[in-house]
Structure 1
Amino acid sequence: MVNTLTPSQAAGLGAARAPIPWRAYARLAKLDIYDYYLSVPLLAALAGPTGWAAPGRTSVVLLLVLLGQVTLTAALVTFDDVTGYRDGSDAANYGPDAPARRLARKPLVTGALTDGQAVRFGWLALAACAVSWAGALALAPHRPAWAVLGVVLWFALGFQYSWWLKLSYHGLQEVFIAALGWFFVLPFHGLLTGQAGGLAIVQTLLFGLGPLLFGVYSNINDIPGDRSVGRPTVAVLTSPRGNALFVAAVSALETVLIAGAAVSGLAPWWFLPAMAPVIGLRVRQFVLGIGRGDILRARLLGVRIHRLAVALLVAVDLLLDLGAAA
């Protein structure tokens, strides 16, 4: 039987913990989850000599990009929590028997923040993103139309995961998770360099697949909650075998991108051995999560694989820059 919190229980729990407001808002914004923000060091390395022709300007643009990413993501997860609070799914998934640290991540459920406070915070975060990215566009050394359009488009859509359009409720959850990473890289790379080369596109795709490849394991664990609120993830819509095939296909796509870039000449031949640890760990993740059913450990491994992949991509880009300068 699923445990839920009554309003009085939630209020009592919030009063008992009574975190100071900034902590409640930090938890609401999920500031401890930084995996998407790793796009900034990737952008810095991927920019190369062209993007760093004016170091001070590029540094300011990257800082504004980061501020916009943090605030847009804060708006996204805030509105997602508001939706989960209103439809009761968070109360069901984070009942009174949940571990205290896990439950504290839902300040609306615990009563630490009110619905109105959360909604106001979400809009303020989105406004801060608008200011930050407008500044990045104004100061960017290049403004190709496709890059500007990408920034504007993602500002308009990036908070609508489960708000307004509710994209994740219309079969786009997995696409959205990957697209968040894609739009955090390629448009801003265009602002820094004025172009989008083949290797930059490959790295953009790989970056977005990273969060997706720990998100799909979370979705297996979230099937009851997602089904109860009508969120049609692949895990909800398919059988366990069908979902396993989907996870395998996404994992294989990452390998194909890495190998294909090396074979086609978009990346140097050593790109494949450099990224080989990611491929090997991806196999281990699949065996752990799908083969053995240890979903939470597979998800955690996916987070670590993503961070490793970004570190390796940054190293590849820096080595390429050194080679070009030699």
Structure 2
Amino acid sequence: MTDSITAAHPAATAHGRGRLRTYARLGKLDVYDYYLGIFLALAATLLPLGAFTAGKALVLALFLVGEIAVLMAMVALDDVTGFRDGSDLANYGPDNPLRSKARKPLVAGALTVPQALRFAWTSAAAGAVLWAAAVAVAPHRPPWALVAAAALFVVSLQYSYGLKISYHGFQEVFLVALGAVLVIVPYGLLTGEYSGFLMVQAVLFGFGPLMFGVYSNTNDVAGDRAVGRPTVAALVSERGNAVFIAALSATEFLIGALASLTGAAPWWFVPLMLPATALRTRQYLTGFVRGDIMTARRIGFAVHRLSVALMTVANLLVGWGATR
């Protein structure tokens, strides 16, 4: 029956698939890097296997799907603001051929602002319901985790809409905090505890999106300056921005190194993370020595994903050692 309906209305079916792809672009579903934080929480709680119940798996699943909905709302609202103030038209228009207009459905004319807003608020509502369900079935509800989740929900919707936090100079800090909260909250719901080592990983996880975000900001500096969006790249000189990003790269390494030196992380954590450190160095050299900012941005995604894989291994090693 379904096949006959599809055959009878091929244009409508194709249109439906096209609209779904358009909303997927609006929600940036292809940029899944924030969602990888769930693997760190999973790896930190997985061992011993006998203690990892189906209920815990359900908590992680509900939190992850809720997280996807909340972040889709955040980026859709960001697109609405960027379209209204003209920054996306500048950064994704014909004068900037390195950025694909298809990634911005409002700029491409594939969606209207009311459609984007309906998608954003529907996604936000779904995220709130799913996170509430995750809390309801969680074995633990530490107050700090509940406050962190609630704050993230509220603030993410104000990132570039409403209060427009990113338009008041807090963009870089927010990106790190967002990633950190998405790691520590599900861990807290499963264990009821706070782990120093996991917090180190959570901050490093937040550095991942920050370190491809600052390269995006470097590329988008003209559009951001035009609308008064105060990213570091828009506020300082080219040299100042290069120094800032070099400092961020060094800070990322030092966080892991100090954690190992102080006992917050195992001694072997820094050597384990060296492949990601080397790739981060390559990213900087590509962007600010070779002058290829957009390739450097793409390398940032690879660094983040490699870092998540290495930190996942670290958590499994710690868990395995604790069960021996």
Corresponding residue number in structure 1 for 2:286: 288
Provide structure 2 residue ranges, at least 5 long, that are not aligned to the other structure: 1-14
Corresponding residue number in structure 1 for 2:174: 176
Matches within 5 A, 1:83-102: 83-96=81-94, 102=100
Provide structure 1 residue ranges, at least 5 long, that are not aligned to the other structure: 1-16
2:156 aligned to which of 140, 155, 158: 158
The alpha-carbon deviation at position 100 of structure 1 amounts to 11
User: Residue 211 of structure 1 aligns to a residue in which SS?
Assistant: helix
| Count of residue pairs brought into register by the alignment | 310
**Does 50-59 or 21-30 show the bigger shift?**
50-59
Corresponding residue number in structure 2 for 1:310: 308
Which amino acid is 2:222 matched to?
A: P
Corresponding residue number in structure 1 for 2:223: 225
1:269 aligned to which of 267, 270, 279: 267
Distance 1:180 1:246, change over 3 A: same
Corresponding residue number in structure 2 for 1:189: 187
The alpha-carbon deviation at position 97 of structure 1 amounts to 6.6
Matches within 5 A, 1:16-95: 20-49=18-47, 53-95=51-93
The alpha-carbon deviation at position 96 of structure 1 amounts to 4.4
Corresponding residue number in structure 1 for 2:147: 149
TM-score, normalised by the number of residues in structure 2 = 0.91
Q: What is the identity percentage for the equivalent residue pairs of Structure 1 and Structure 2?
A: 54
The alpha-carbon deviation at position 196 of structure 1 amounts to 1.2
Distance 1:205 1:218, change over 3 A: same
TM-score, normalised by the number of residues in structure 1 = 0.90
1:257 aligned to which of 243, 255, 258: 255
Contact 2:48 2:320 in 1 (8 A): no
Contact 2:260 2:270 in 1 (8 A): yes
CA RMSD of aligned residues (A): 1.9
Q: C-alpha offsets along residues 244-275 of structure 1, whole Å, 9 cap, x if unaligned?
A: 22111111111111111222122222111111
2:138 aligned to which of 140, 143, 154: 140
User: Residue 157 of structure 2 aligns to a residue in which SS?
Assistant: coil
Q: C-alpha offsets along residues 99-127 of structure 1, whole Å, 9 cap, x if unaligned?
A: 69921111112221111111011000000
Contact 2:197 2:264 in 1 (8 A): yes
Which amino acid is 2:195 matched to?
A: G
Structure 1 Cα separation of the partners of residues 17 and 108 of structure 2: 10
Distance 1:51 1:177, change over 3 A: farther
User: Residue 110 of structure 2 aligns to a residue in which SS?
Assistant: coil
